[in-house]
Amino acid sequence: MKGDTLGPSYVIQMYNPKHDVWAVTVIDNIGRGPGKGGIRMTGTVGVEEVSRLARAMTLKCAMADLPFGGAKSGIMVDPKTISKEAKREIVVWFGEQLRMYAPKYYISAPDINMAEEEMRWFVEGHGDPKAITGKPKDLGGLPHELGSTGFGVAHSAKMALEFKGIPVQGATIAIEGYGNVGVFAHKFLEEMGAKIVAVSDSRGGVYDPQGLKHAELSKTKETKGTVTAHDKGEKIEGKKIFELDVDVLIPAALPDVINYSNVENVKAKIIVEGANISIVPDLVEPLHTRGVLIIPDFVANAGGVISSYAEHMGYDEKKMFELVREKIEKSVNAMLERSKATGQILRQAAEAIALERLA
């Protein structure tokens, strides 16, 4: 993003000598307010990934018409390789490091491997609960465990199906990733009448053309740690989920999962990006040319940051969900209308709207 007028405004790199761990925060743009974006903790996250995610947050907040800029953080360690106490120490340390930037320039939130408990640890280190959202209720939070992101993804999928003329009732859905986003997208889409036929996690996937029930599969995931332990359906390789003939594919975990190795085998009619940067950028237009409708990440998964805004404003759960539905519907409709009027693909149309708001 060298020479880019949007940002980044700050790139903050930090090192913890005790645990030999690096971390980075990229505050991409603060034109509309403090940069907003979560913290992910993985063994593969780096500056480039965090920078791309921060830019997605800039566009997401502008598209949702929120008084936030965009930012993101990454802590470069696989939490499965360290103890819980070591993880707590690292997150507390990370909160301490950001005292001079948050909440004036940055307000953080949960992301991969970082949930409500970790937000408490961040506050322990930082000292100001206003520097982070998605924290426990006793700290004034609206935890992301309420499912706001998955709720927004489900509504985005519903609107995409309606736009394509596919009945939501009985529509077939495949979900890559069964963390917070995937679990709640499953729940809310099932309540709308859609049929979730495949789900995957880091260990593999499960496929059942008759449909996988949310209550049963989420219990399997909670008790056994993986959807592959489910006693119903066919076990499949995780990568096969991108090749299933379904109405809607929801990538809801890792970046760049739709890439040069599998793009030709994608059969879904609609892709709803539950995860950020889930499609290699150069492949969005070829998929569109093939007739695949793609609801981009910064539109589809904005429910989490909208929930963060609701928490920031002191709203309750009911008002938060109403706000998520209202803003997601407005964003998707505005994007569809712009695309229809200009001939732009959906991502280009949404980016144009977001950039106008940033200007």
Containing 199, the helix (H) or strand (E) segment is: strand 195-201
| C-alpha–C-alpha distance, residues 1 and 4, integer Å | 5
Residues in a beta bridge with 198: 174, 207
Omega prior to 103 cis, within 30 of 0? yes
Q: Cβ distance 206 to 227 under 8 Å?
A: yes
Q: Is the separation of the CB atoms in 345 and 288 below 8 Å?
A: yes
Q: Which of 72, 187, 221, 269 is catalytic?
A: 72
Q: Hey, what's the torsion of the CAs at 212, 213, 215, 221, to 10 degrees?
A: 0
Q: Is 18 a catalytic residue?
A: no
Angle at 349 between CA 344 and CA 355, to 5 degrees: 135
The β-bridge relationship of strands 35-36 and 69-76 is parallel
Amino acid at 350: A
Q: What CA–CA distances, in Å, run from 289 to 14, 110, 354?
A: 43, 35, 23
Other beta carbons within 10 angstroms of residue 88's beta carbon come to 17
Question: How many residues in the chain?
Answer: 359
- CA angle (144, 195, 288) in 5-degree steps: 80
d(CA 199, CA 179): 11
**Active-site residue list:** 72
